[in-house]
């Protein structure tokens, strides 16, 4: 098998492995970016509805909202 002049002395197997590793890294980065974008989207689009809760200070083990948004 004849090797082209620009590839003489170059380990093509190592170059292929490097390309594969770069491709895997880019896919992983893409997945992480997509997951974070989805997390931000869900955080802003799923605001809970207001519910009735205690307005005065909690006592005897009851809890209340620290600062009501309603």
Task: Output the six-digit token pair for 50.
Answer: 């207001």
Contact 50, 69 (CB under 8 A): yes
d(CA 35, CA 37) in angstroms, rounded, equals 5
For residue 20, give the H/E element and its range. helix 12-45
Give pTM, 2 decimals: 0.53
pLDDT digits (tens, 9 = 90+) for 12-64: 677 788 899 999 999 999 999 999 999 999 988 887 777 666 556 656 666 66
């Amino acid at each position: 098998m004849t090797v082209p002049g620009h590839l003489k002395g170059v380990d093509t197997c190592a170059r292929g492995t490097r390309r594969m590793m770069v491709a895997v890294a880019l896919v992983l980065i893409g997945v992480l970016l997509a997951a974070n974008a989805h997390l931000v989207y869900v955080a802003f689009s799923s605001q809970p509805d207001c519910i009735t809760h205690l307005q005065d200070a909690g006592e005897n083990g009851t809890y209340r909202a620290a600062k009501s948004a309603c």
